[in-house]
Every structure is written in structure tokens, then in C-alpha cells.
Structure 1
Amino acid sequence: MLNPPGLVAILAYDGLCTFEFGIAVEIFGLPRPEFDFPWYSHRIVSVDAYPMQASGGIQVVSSFGLGSLSDAQTIIIPGWRNRDERPPQALLDALCDAYHRGARLLSICSGVFVLAAAGLLDGKRATTHWRYTTELADCYPGITVDPNVLYVDNGQIITSAGSAAGIDACLHLISRDYGMHVANIVARRLVMAPQRSGGQIQFIPSPVAQKPRDEIAPVLEWALQNLNSTLSVRQMADRALMSERTFLRRFREAMGITPKAWVLQARMNLARDLLESNHLHNEQIMECCGFGSMESFRAAFRKSVGISPSSYRKKFGGISTEQVSYRDLPHPVELPK
């Protein structure tokens, strides 16, 4: 049985983005009767004095103030109301105190500007919505801003791109706490792709019209069914009836990452799911995921996940409440329509 991850505090303030706030409440605040292990507890923490008017005219009321962050293990920061407005010093001090005692901080979209104002991102990599990445880099030159990813995990701090990428970041946190299979169950309840490994570059307007992505989707489906085989760019390009150069360009335009990186992510997703099921030996999982040796499998897994396959199985194996067949294994990205 895993140790419960404790209290998640979700910040609320005047001018709150209701969608990003709702993401956090939906993922961490709803009961999960499908699980037979402790889930997160949650608390809404108000930054401003009442009344707090959220977008859409909704009023948010909470009986918890910033002092109640003192026992939170995780703090969620929805997009900040005004990037030109410095957040209240009391909020910045409370976040610094939480960080220094070991709490985890997760920002959604422009919520990263709150962490930046607190000085907690200096010397770290971070992201935000693609519309704000240049502004963030200009205002806080000590931060390495990555405009091409959906979220950045620095261990204790996670920053996400635009609003919907907050869902990806929250699911990633669940994956860290409970394993990938549990995160995928939550994703299915949300009726969304279990994990997207593409970058937000695919959502940035381009002056050149991009080609339809229908030509990429069948290649992804084929690759997911053949992860136990050698999957080269040449093979994938042939499958798409393209030259390698054209395929590489179209793939990056559609997915935001290279084919090689996508295949590795897909193999790691499959390995994690199979390790959690506890049905196969590590050598069998190695073969299913297309690795030629245990050494290469262990090295790739440790680099991607941060621990060895055996340690991952020990931590997450057997806690799932559903069985998943090979055909239902999670896609590493949402397939293009």
C-alpha cells in the first residue's frame, strides 16, 4: 500500500480562472470510490478577502486563508489574474515557506508568474502558455523558459503550459504518486488521452499552413502495435509514403517532438503499465518494449522515470484496481484527428 500523498491546497483569488481552478478540483477534490487506497485530501485556500469574483461572474468562498497552507503537501496555483500585477507579498512568503519545508508546487498557465515573483524558479527550467513565454523570459532572465513543452517537472515544482496542459501536469503528478495505471484510470474518467508527450508547439499559430495530420495517425497506430520491433524513422516514413526528411518535418509539426523521442516515450509508457500489472518478468517486459538487452532497458527506464524497473514495480506493482489488455494500453499522445 502506498503512503497517502496528503493535502492538496488549491489557491483561489479575485479574478480566478474558473477552468484552471476546476481542473484542480476535478482531479484532486473528487472522491474516487473506484480505488481501495487513500486518495488526496483537498482544501480551497483564499488569497484575497471576500468576495472573490471568478471569471464568468462566479463567486468563490472559502473559510481557509493563507495560514492554512502550512500543512499542505501540494499547492496548486491556477493562472494569475494579471501578469503585470505583483502577487501579494503574503502569498509569496507563504509559497516560499511551503517550498522550504518540502511542499510541492504546481502552476497552471500564467500561475508560473506567481512562482517567478517568489524567486522560486531562479536557475530552473519552466514553461507557461506559448503566448507568455517571451514575456516570462524577459521579466525573469534567471529562468530557463521552454516554450515547446506541455509541462516541466523540476521535482518539487511543476509548471504547465496553457490551461488544458494543466490536466497533463496534474495527471503526471498522480503518476508520480500512484503510478501510471492509476493516472490513466483518472484520465479515462475525464474522457481524455491518458498522457500527451507532444509539445505545445503544435498549438502555436504558424504563418505557413500545416499539412493535415491524418497522414501521421495511421503510422502512430501501427507503431503502438509494434513496439516490440525495431522502429526506425525509415520504416515509419515508408509507412507514411514519405521521404525521411518530409516525414521528420511533418511528424515534428504534428506532434511537437521527433519520432525517436515519441517511440521511446511510447515504450516507457508500455513498460510502466506492464510493471504495474505484475504479470510479466522484467525480461519479458524488455522484449515487449523492443529493447535488445536488460542493460539498455534499465538505462532507458532509469533515465526516463528516475528509478529502476524493479524499484518501480516494488513501488507501484499490484495497486491497480482494473486490468488492462494489451490493446487498451495507453497512447503516449492523443492521436491526431
Structure 2
Amino acid sequence: MADPIVSVIAFDGISPFHLSVPCLVFGTDRTRLGLPRFDFRVCAMEEGPIHTDAGLTIVVPHGLAALDDADIVIIPSWKDLEDPLPATLTEALGRAHRRGALIVGLCLGTFAIAAAGLLSGRKAATHWAYTDRLQALHPDIAVDADVLYVDDGDIVT
């Protein structure tokens, strides 16, 4: 059986901390401890280096095409919370979701999933300081400010 494919979205202006969390969880081989191995991919929306909000520049090896066969897609954060999502990312997330990939939004990553239209009519969580903003921007979502996460089967926020 092939290793599950986990793709995480990196973008210009991302926090190295937010990107590092899925990298540590899924990108480190812990098979000696009896844990599963993952085919882990960091993906960017554009080719070329991206710049973090901490002044680091990183080269991301994969584009959004890596979402096309991912079992899990993680959006570890988001920026420009009120701006429309780039069409390429909206389409890639939609394809992955329709295909059955688990979509995961960590903290502000929920905003990207919402902007892609994948949370309409669903319950969701985000960082506690941004629950009111998420609800105002996306009134079609039942934002739960009292939980750490919401597992809605095919989407986790």
C-alpha cells in the first residue's frame, strides 16, 4: 500500500511557525516508533521562492498540481482574510475535495477553505480571536467559537 499523500499549502508571507507544524507532524519519518510514513509535499501557488513574514526565503518544491492526488490537504494559515482566494487555489481545493481528499484548515487556514466555498452550510472553527470576523465574512457558516476544532468528516477546521 502506498504511503498517504499529505500536501500543505505555502504562500508568500506565510509564518514559518504555521508552516512548520504540518512539516513536523507529517514530514518527519517516525516509522521506527511504529507510526505511519507519509508522502509529504509542500506546495505553492506560484513557481519560485516564497518569502515568509519572518524574513526567510524558501524554495517550495511543488505546485498546486500536487493537490490532485493528495489524501490530505492542509492550509496552515492564511493572509488577506477579506480578499478573494486566487482562482487557481479555489479550483485546486475544489478538485481535491470532490475527489475525496480530507481538507484541513489550521487556525486562519479556515478562511481559505471558506473563501473556496467548501464550508457553506457547515460548522467550522478558527483561531478564537478571529471567530467574529469569519462569521461576518461568511454568514453561511456556523462558526463555533467554543471549540478547538471541528471535524466535519471530509473537512477539519
TM (norm. structure 2) is 0.94
3-state SS, counterpart of residue 42 of structure 2: strand
Counterpart in the other structure of 1:86: 84
Counterpart in the other structure of 1:58: 56
Counterpart in the other structure of 1:147: 145
Aligned AA for 2:123?
A: R
Counterpart in the other structure of 1:29: 27
Task: Map 1:2-13 onto structure 2 (within 5 A).
Answer: 6-13=4-11
The answer as to whether partners of 1:104 and 1:157 remain within 8 angstroms in 2 is yes
3-state SS, counterpart of residue 74 of structure 2: strand
5+ unaligned residues in a row in structure 1: which ranges? 160-337
- Residues 55-99 of structure 1, C-alpha deviations (whole Å, 9 max, x = no match): 211112123111121110001101102212222110011000000
Instruction: Tell me if 1:128 matches 2:126.
Output: yes
In structure 2, C-alpha distance between the alignment counterparts of 1:37 and 1:145, rounded to whole Å: 33
> 135, 138, 142: which one pairs with 1:137?
135
Change over 3 Å in CA distance of 1:126–1:132 after alignment to 2: same
Aligned length: 157
Normalized per residue, the structure richer in strand is: 2
Counterpart in the other structure of 1:114: 112
Instruction: Tell me if 1:105 matches 2:106.
Output: no
In structure 2, C-alpha distance between the alignment counterparts of 1:132 and 1:7, rounded to whole Å: 30
Shift of 1:51: 2.6
- Residues 229-271 of structure 1, C-alpha deviations (whole Å, 9 max, x = no match): xxxxxxxxxxxxxxxxxxxxxxxxxxxxxxxxxxxxxxxxxxx
> 49, 65, 78: which one pairs with 1:67?
65
The answer as to whether partners of 1:112 and 1:128 remain within 8 angstroms in 2 is yes
Shift of 1:36: 4.2
Deviating beyond 4 angstroms after TM superposition, the runs of 4 or more aligned structure 1 residues are none
Aligned AA for 2:48?
A: Y
Q: CA RMSD in A?
A: 1.5
The answer as to whether partners of 1:16 and 1:81 remain within 8 angstroms in 2 is yes
Change over 3 Å in CA distance of 1:128–1:35 after alignment to 2: same
Deviates more, 1:145-154 or 1:33-42: 33-42
- Residues 71-130 of structure 1, C-alpha deviations (whole Å, 9 max, x = no match): 100011011022122221100110000000000011111111111111100111001111
In structure 1, C-alpha distance between the alignment counterparts of 2:156 and 2:38, rounded to whole Å: 18
Aligned AA for 1:118?
A: A
- Answer 1 or 2: higher relative contact order, Cα 8 Å, separation at least 6: 2
In structure 2, C-alpha distance between the alignment counterparts of 1:108 and 1:94, rounded to whole Å: 18
Normalized per residue, the structure richer in helix is: 1
Task: Map 1:186-335 onto structure 2 (within 5 A).
Answer: none
Counterpart in the other structure of 1:193: none
Change over 3 Å in CA distance of 1:6–1:84 after alignment to 2: same
